Amino acid sequence: TQECLDRIAAQNPVLNAFLHVDAGRALEYANALDDAGPDPAKALWGVPLALKDVLCVQGMPCTCGSRILNGFTPCYDATVAARLREAGAVFLGKLNCDEFAMGSSNETSAYGPARNPWDTDRVPGGSSGGSAVAVAAGQCFGALGTDTGGSIRQPASFCGVVGVKPTYGRCSRYGLVAYGSSLDQPGPMARTVADAAQLLQCIAGPDTRHGGHPKDSTCAPLPVPDWSAECEAARTRDLAGLTIGLPEEYWGDGIDDDVRAPMEAAIETARSLGATIKRVSLPLTKYAVPTYYIVAMAEASSNLARFDGVRYGRRAPVADGADSLLDLYTASRSQGFGEEVQRRILLGTYVLSAGYYDAYYRKAAQVRRKLREDFLAALDGCDVLAGPASPVAAWKLGELVDDPLKMYLMDIFTVSLNLAGLPGLCMPVGRGVSTGMPVGLQLFAKAFDETALFRVAAPLE
């Protein structure tokens, strides 16, 4: 813990991964663990971790990368945080992210972007950029991120760490500040596949209060498999008997050579380990980005209505014209939300408005269903599908920030999975030949079959 805190202190002025460091409590808890001695019942005994700043941790500020939540300190733990704590983890602090997890580069954070540790002129990816940076730079041994449309997998790819987006419903969203409620999932980011499996195992599973009422009604009442044992066993196994599908839309034109070469090498390794490689198709991929942005913005506009300057965080002062209730809302929201968040609230409100609902939101919901069917058809006869997490490696800071549409299009290979509700994993497989930046391979599996992800990823590591 002390070593992590030292690294954070030395690196954070440049990398900006941590928005809040809880050094005092972290050391106090780590010392208490030392005094008590190792506890084999606690899978994460003394492991220093950190959490994306959209997850509530009791007594730590939670900003969601936004000015509007300045001064908000939750009085309770998100379920996933509570479970890490119960497993003996030490919390170092809260990690930078795009504002309310809206972005692909960490640049929409009101507190400045985290920087990619492999090249500090480049973005770490987003929105869980701080989580990826902290893990890649050795500031913590693992982190939690959240993934609404790729926010765990894409920064994992950009920073060279492992990230898992669990099946929708695998992990409780209780205490996760909602962005797109039907898409959001918290998940682990770690240095190795086995570490990610261990973290996921701790945070996954049904979530009920005393008395049996669900804390997150979409959290599935399913048992959690022993993924750590799976990774352990996979170390000595090859991939014989497993089939990996390559969706042609994920391997065609538009993928940078930088990304293609390491990915192709990884597929060759899988083949040499005995995997059967099969060509498959996800023909509706071209509709994924527009469908995703309609659903995500619609849900965001509704979820963000609660930030009104009254209930949480920062309230605009009367001096700024906030002297009636409506003006208070307007001033607080205008000052508190950044440009990207305001754009999404406007567009989301528009697609939900009377007269446009059928044309946009209902249509998107229908296409979403079709996208899921696409995946299920492609996964029929395959254990996993494999492709890139992003068409390019980490780009330069500032490069896309003024072109939101172009930035949205970069999400082409991650957003479908959230629309379909399926699990995915991204693992580092090499470096881009021209940029020298890390490149990740993304795996997709059937609903609640995270086991297949670990089964394939562990021997490939």
CB 135 within 8 A of CB 191: yes
The catalytic residue among 66, 104, 109, 127 is: 127
Instruction: For ligand GLN, give the closer residue by CB, 110 or 234.
Output: 110
Instruction: For ligand GLN, give the closer residue by CB, 16 or 104.
Output: 104
Interacting span for ligand GLN (CB under 6 A) from 148-156, 234-242, 308-316, 425-433:
148-156
Pairwise CA distance, residues 117 & 335, whole Å:
31
Q: Which of 93, 103, 130, 424 binds ligand GLN (CB under 6 A)?
A: 103
The catalytic residue among 52, 94, 165, 446 is: 52
Q: Which of 101, 263, 453, 460 binds ligand GLN (CB under 6 A)?
A: 101
Catalytic status, residue 127: yes
CB 52 within 8 A of CB 62: no
Interacting span for ligand GLN (CB under 6 A) from 144-152, 202-210, 246-254, 453-461:
144-152
Neighbours of 286 (CB within 10 A): 10
Catalytic status, residue 353: no
As measured in angstroms, the least distance from the Cβ of 18 to ligand GLN is 19
Catalytic status, residue 52: yes
Under rule CB under 6 A, residue 432 binds ligand GLN: no
CA distances from 127 to 151, 169, 392 (A): 5, 20, 16
Sheet holding 90-95, edge to edge: 18-21, 90-95, 48-52, 142-147, 185-190, 162-165, 424-431, 438-444, 384-388, 243-247, 276-280
Instruction: For ligand GLN, give the closer residue by CB, 11 or 104.
Output: 104
Per-residue interface string for the shown chain with ligand GLN, residues 295-334, x marking contact by CB under 6 A? -x--------------------------------------
Residues 6+ away with beta carbon under 8 Å from 59: 25, 73, 75
Under rule CB under 6 A, residue 96 binds ligand GLN: no
Looking at residue 324, the DSSP 8-state letter turns out to be: S
Under rule CB under 6 A, residue 374 binds ligand GLN: no
Q: Which of 30, 51, 56, 102 binds ligand GLN (CB under 6 A)?
A: 102
The catalytic residue among 104, 151, 157, 228 is: 151
Pairwise CA distance, residues 120 & 129, whole Å:
13
Q: Which H or E run contains 277?
A: strand 276-280
CB 387 within 8 A of CB 128: no
Neighbours of 213 (CB within 10 A): 8
Instruction: For ligand GLN, give the closer residue by CB, 82 or 417.
Output: 417
| Amino acid sitting at position 412 | I
Per-residue interface string for the shown chain with ligand GLN, residues 260-299, x marking contact by CB under 6 A? ------------------------------------x---
Interacting span for ligand GLN (CB under 6 A) from 84-92, 96-104, 187-195, 217-225:
96-104
Neighbours of 222 (CB within 10 A): 13
Interacting span for ligand GLN (CB under 6 A) from 99-107, 194-202, 394-402, 439-447:
99-107
Pairwise CA distance, residues 368 & 374, whole Å:
10
The catalytic residue positions are 52, 127, 151
Site for ligand GLN, rule CB under 6 A: 101-104, 127, 147-151, 179, 296, 411
